Amino acid sequence: MTIAQLIYASEASTEPRAKVEEILVTARARNKQLQLTGYLCFRSDMFLQVLEGAPASVSAVYASIANDRRHSHVVLLGYEKVVKRRFSRWAMGYVADLGDAQSILFNYSGQNEFEPYGMDHTSAIEFLSEVASVGAGGTIVREPA
């Protein structure tokens, strides 16, 4: 089976964080149905999200996301066929701010700033994998059991 991995960055519309958590409820339900996995980071009013799964499902959900008015300037950072999932534990993991995971950002940016538009596919995947693996970041909304 082919696994597609898609990563994009965007800017949040003027939505408070609570609304992001609403997005997650829909996202996780639909992703579970489509067997999509991934991770979402929200910081400095910007999103960085990875989606992985069957190519047709990844494309369908990305089409919805790209048209969602809760964010804008949606920029595709990468789309690749990969041998295996990197975020199989999460229908959509989520971290807001970075808290203790802030130091991870330092390794991926020149000035300790969250600049997702400047990331390429590989650096974005590695960054999100590290954030996901420490799981200790800022405000992490755990997946419902």
Ligand X SMILES: Cc1cc2nc3c(=O)[nH]c(=O)nc-3n(C[C@H](O)[C@H](O)[C@H](O)COP(=O)(O)O)c2cc1C
In the complex, the residues that contact ligand X under the rule CB under 6 A are 23, 26-27, 30-31, 38, 40, 47, 49, 51, 61, 64-65, 68, 70-71, 92
Compare residues 40 and 105 and give the one whose CB is closer to ligand X.
40
For the CB of residue 98, give the shortest distance to ligand X in the complex, in Å.
Answer: 17
- Beta carbon nearer to ligand X, 39 or 108: 39
Decide if 137 contacts 99 (C-beta within 8 A): yes
Buried b (16+ CB within 10 A) or exposed e, 44-78: eebbbbbbbbeeebbeebbeebeeeeebeebeebb
For the bound state, the minimum distance from the C-beta of residue 21 to ligand X, rounded and expressed in Å, comes to: 11
Tell me the C-alpha distance between 86 and 37, whole Å: 9
Instruction: Determine contact, residues 74/10, Cβ cutoff 8 Å.
Output: yes
Looking at beta carbons only, is 110 or 144 nearer to ligand X?
144
Smallest separation, CB 50 to ligand X (Å) = 9
Cβ neighbours around 25 below 10 Å, total: 12
Query: C-beta of 79: minimal distance to ligand X in Å?
Result: 15
Decide whether 34 or 134 has the Cβ nearer to ligand X.
Answer: 34
Q: Nearest Cα to 58, choosing from 20, 22, 90, 30?
A: 30
